[in-house]
């Protein structure tokens, strides 16, 4: 539920970041205790309302009514969960119930009221109830229980006084806190602000997540090859792991062993890490585009939408489906960052842009490689950038663009600097250091094979071969 704001206040947007936790065993257990207690509370509300339903009573769904029931149940009913945390669960239930009711009234009879129990339920605490310092977070707990202070694995990426709420969640096999902050839309010094009249077209793709061309001839290409490599390496790793662990898999009808559970957990963690890497790279790619746009004072980004869907609300379900699609994500991430930077984003149909010459607007043979060649006017240029030029001309309201000068410099940027092998950032833990060609990279030179004395001097244990009779 959004807060009320003064009409004259500066525009703000809400952004959420996920931060991992560094926990001791006892802290982990207490965190799980909180999530489990929240799950119990959720189940309790479901149970209570199903009783009432059977007795043909009116269900209790109003937030304040539920809060009164919670207060009546007395302290300590839900373990260490304090009343603010518990109320966040009630708020979640109430919101879900009323949105279902509204949709049912609107004729969607298939929408159901909340009815599913969950063993772990996210708990949210709003501003003023938790304590946040550099890398420490104090979560409120019920009266009489010791304070719960957890360590964060990175600094919260927002100014401390902008943070509005924290949510404890369990996802991808790990505990996290989601930190939500209210950030003001960027303001610029006079003469630095993006201008609405300056338009750039954005072409979305896989090899190049974003190809951008401004109306005045500036161009940017963001490469996504590192992301594709990550996808492929992950696939290869997954296959290898499957092959290696297949023998341990329980047979049909057989109960899984503890060892198998560990294997499954490991696979889940790897899957989560892969997803986080790709997600991070997507954010970096979008940030590159926005930084570039701000630098060139581009105030309008026109994005070619390959789904042929215009910026029409497609209903909640379809919107959700679109958002879950990776391509939809690329658009959503760009939109979010543009909003924060004060840049307008339009979505236009991109049909035909990759086979239209940006100079003479005639159809060209759909290019096979990365280069577009026009037989009529002799234009030669990068396919995706050429498409971005044509997309820019489709900006609603019409814009004047200069003809692209493909001799001009294209800014090349790479998404996913953190990905293995993509830069100086981090060595791929899965691969040994490169033997040669690592000029300019901050990598230790590999030890020559057989230099055992050197290895020993570096403190590595020499390989110990077991003798036949030895135990
Ligand atoms: Zn042409």
- Measured in Å, residue 263 CA sits from the centre of ligand 1 at 57
Higher-scoring residue by pLDDT: 103, 247: 103
- Measured in Å, residue 353 CA sits from the centre of ligand 1 at 13
- Measured in Å, residue 389 CA sits from the centre of ligand 1 at 13
What is the per-residue pLDDT for 444?
47
What is the per-residue pLDDT for 88?
95
For residue 443, is pLDDT > 50?
A: no
- Measured in Å, residue 287 CA sits from the centre of ligand 1 at 32
Mean pLDDT of the 34-45 span: 95
For residue 60, is pLDDT > 70?
A: yes
Give pLDDT tens digits for 280-298.
899 999 999 999 999 999 9
Strands 195-204 and 131-132: unpaired
Cα gap 93→326, rounded to integer Å: 29
- Measured in Å, residue 380 CA sits from the centre of ligand 1 at 9
Higher-scoring residue by pLDDT: 408, 35: 35
Higher-scoring residue by pLDDT: 283, 317: 283
For residue 307, is pLDDT > 60?
A: yes
Higher-scoring residue by pLDDT: 247, 5: 247
Among 21-30, 315-324, 397-406, 440-449, which stretch is predicted with the lowest mean pLDDT?
Answer: 440-449
Q: What is the pTM of this model?
A: 0.74
- Measured in Å, residue 383 CA sits from the centre of ligand 1 at 13
- Measured in Å, residue 393 CA sits from the centre of ligand 1 at 15
Confidence label for 459 from pLDDT (cuts 50, 70 and 90): very low
Which residues have a Cβ under 8 Å from the Cβ of 319 and sit 6 or more positions away?
313
Confidence label for 401 from pLDDT (cuts 50, 70 and 90): low
- Measured in Å, residue 9 CA sits from the centre of ligand 1 at 50
- Measured in Å, residue 388 CA sits from the centre of ligand 1 at 15
- Measured in Å, residue 366 CA sits from the centre of ligand 1 at 13
Among 137-146, 180-189, 224-233, 320-329, which stretch is predicted with the lowest mean pLDDT?
Answer: 320-329
Delimit the domains of the chain by residue range: 12-184, 195-245+270-414
- Measured in Å, residue 310 CA sits from the centre of ligand 1 at 27
What is the per-residue pLDDT for 441?
44
Mean pLDDT of the 305-317 span: 59
The fraction of the chain above a pLDDT of 90, given in percent, is: 38
Higher-scoring residue by pLDDT: 89, 217: 89
Confidence label for 92 from pLDDT (cuts 50, 70 and 90): very high
Mean pLDDT of the 359-369 span: 81
- Measured in Å, residue 292 CA sits from the centre of ligand 1 at 28
Statement: 195-245+270-414 belongs to CATH 3.40.50.410: no
Among 186-200, 404-418, 430-444, 455-469, which stretch is predicted with the lowest mean pLDDT?
Answer: 455-469
Confidence label for 377 from pLDDT (cuts 50, 70 and 90): confident
For residue 346, is pLDDT > 50?
A: yes
- Please state the length of the chain: 471
Mean pLDDT of the 47-54 span: 94
- Measured in Å, residue 361 CA sits from the centre of ligand 1 at 6
- As a whole number of Å, the end-to-end CA separation of the chain is 67
Residue 67 phi, psi (nearest 5): -60, -40
What is the per-residue pLDDT for 453?
45
Burial 69-88 (b: 16+ CB within 10 A, else e): ebeeeeeeebbbbbbebbbb
**Region class of 183: left (phi > 0), else alpha (psi between -120 and 50), else beta:** beta
- Measured in Å, residue 373 CA sits from the centre of ligand 1 at 8
CB atoms within 10 A of CB 164: 16
Cα gap 111→107, rounded to integer Å: 9
Residue 185 phi, psi (nearest 5): -65, 140
Helix-, strand-, coil-residue percentages of the chain, each rounded to 5: 35, 20, 45
Beta-bridged to residue 450, according to DSSP, are: none
Name the helix (H) or strand (E) containing 305: strand 298-305
- Measured in Å, residue 384 CA sits from the centre of ligand 1 at 15
Confidence label for 316 from pLDDT (cuts 50, 70 and 90): low
For residue 452, is pLDDT > 50?
A: no
Which residue has tokens 């302290």? 75
Mean pLDDT of the 80-85 span: 91
Q: What does R_g of the chain's alpha carbons equal in angstroms?
A: 28
366 near 355, Cβ under 8 Å? yes
For residue 206, is pLDDT > 90?
A: no
What is the per-residue pLDDT for 11?
84
Mean pLDDT of the 199-223 span: 88
What is the per-residue pLDDT for 90?
95
Mean pLDDT of the chain: 82
Mean pLDDT of the 245-261 span: 82
Mean pLDDT of the 135-143 span: 91
- Measured in Å, residue 308 CA sits from the centre of ligand 1 at 24
- Measured in Å, residue 78 CA sits from the centre of ligand 1 at 70
- Measured in Å, residue 163 CA sits from the centre of ligand 1 at 52
What is the per-residue pLDDT for 78?
87
- Measured in Å, residue 358 CA sits from the centre of ligand 1 at 7
For residue 9, is pLDDT > 60?
A: yes
Mean pLDDT of the 219-230 span: 86
- Measured in Å, residue 346 CA sits from the centre of ligand 1 at 26
What is the per-residue pLDDT for 16?
92
Mean pLDDT of the 401-425 span: 68
């Amino acid at each position: 539920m959004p807060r009320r704001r003064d009409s004259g206040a500066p525009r703000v947007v809400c952004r959420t970041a996920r931060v991992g936790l560094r926990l001791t065993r006892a802290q982990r257990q207490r965190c799980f205790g909180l999530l489990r207690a929240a799950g119990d509370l959720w189940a309790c509300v479901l149970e209570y309302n199903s009783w009432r339903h059977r007795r043909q009573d009116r269900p209790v769904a109003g937030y304040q009514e539920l809060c009164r029931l919670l207060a009546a149940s007395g302290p300590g009913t839900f373990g260490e969960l304090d009343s603010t945390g518990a109320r966040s669960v009630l708020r979640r239930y109430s919101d879900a119930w009323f949105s279902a009711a509204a949709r049912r009234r609107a004729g969607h009879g298939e929408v159901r009221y909340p009815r599913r129990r969950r063993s772990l339920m996210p708990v949210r605490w709003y501003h003023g109830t938790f304590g946040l310092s550099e890398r420490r977070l104090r979560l409120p707990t019920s009266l009489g229980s010791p304070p719960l202070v957890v360590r964060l694995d990175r600094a919260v990426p927002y100014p401390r006084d902008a943070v509005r709420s924290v949510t404890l969640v369990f996802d991808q096999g790990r505990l996290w806190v989601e930190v939500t902050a209210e950030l003001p839309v960027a303001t610029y010094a006079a003469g630095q602000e993006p201008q609405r009249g300056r338009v750039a077209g954005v072409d979305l793709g896989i090899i190049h997540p974003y190809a951008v061309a401004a109306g005045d001839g500036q161009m940017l290409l963001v490469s996504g090859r590192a992301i594709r490599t990550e996808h492929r390496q992950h696939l290869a790793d997954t296959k290898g792991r499957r092959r290696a662990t297949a023998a341990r898999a329980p047979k049909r009808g057989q109960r899984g062993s503890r060892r198998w559970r560990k294997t499954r957990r490991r696979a889940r963690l790897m899957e989560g890490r892969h997803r986080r890497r790709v997600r991070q790279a997507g954010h970096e790619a979008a940030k590159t585009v926005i930084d570039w746009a701000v630098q060139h004072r581009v105030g309008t980004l026109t994005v070619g939408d390959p789904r042929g869907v215009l910026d029409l609300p497609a209903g909640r379900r379809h919107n959700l489906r679109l958002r879950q699609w990776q391509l939809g994500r690329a658009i959503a991430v760009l939109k979010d960052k543009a909003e924060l930077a004060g840049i307008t984003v339009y979505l236009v149909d991109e049909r035909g842009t990759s086979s239209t010459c940006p100079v003479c607007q005639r159809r060209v043979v759909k290019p096979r490689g990365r280069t577009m060649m026009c037989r009529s006017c002799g234009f030669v240029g990068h396919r995706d950038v050429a498409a971005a030029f044509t997309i820019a001309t489709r900006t609603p309201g019409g814009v004047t663009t200069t003809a692209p000068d493909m001799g001009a410099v294209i800014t090349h940027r790479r998404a996913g600097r953190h990905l293995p092998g993509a830069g100086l950032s981090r060595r791929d833990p899965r691969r040994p250091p490169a033997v040669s060609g690592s000029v300019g990279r901050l990598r230790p030179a590999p030890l020559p094979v057989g230099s055992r004395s050197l290895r020993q001097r570096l403190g590595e244990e020499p390989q110990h071969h077991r003798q036949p009779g030895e135990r």
